[in-house]
Structure 1
């Protein structure tokens, strides 16, 4: 998200660096809330065949915006037919990318037995 044109503006916004990420880091307002809203809007605009690029750690971590926002929106859009497929690419620390298999993608999206 932060590599998109809009995301890079937010990521480089100097005032945002003064905000705590969550309540665990201090008082509101929280930078995470802004990013969550942007992530949700970005995912809501998606349709058709979707490609996700994420690190292995963020794909499986339950405290990421991918897990708590984007994945949920994309999965719901897939169920109603607005998203026709989701291909997930993992990028490692060396910059090497691999496409995940169908079963792993279904597991990450929380689908039981396929869609």
Structure 2
């Protein structure tokens, strides 16, 4: 994943590969690039700028899952932007072992949950 910052907002870029030669050499990969997410207006609530797919919430949870102090500034900056135009779901994988409801937050079980939700609506 890449977060690209501009004066007028930011974009999220998600790749299907890791950034290592073995994942790129003579293999087909995919990339998704978000629309440009503008900054929220002054005084917006902390829940503002969410998309119908809860992309903002999921992106923030994904970054927070690493528990890395280096990501705190990035997390705060994302909270200050409007991601409401996003029409995709974030299905991320994170290191660790998960039990209970947390099992459906990441990886293939998250994908199954998203597919089931969309099939029933």
TM-score (norm 1): 0.28
TM-score for both structures, normalised by structure 2: 0.27
> More helix by proportion, 1 or 2?
1
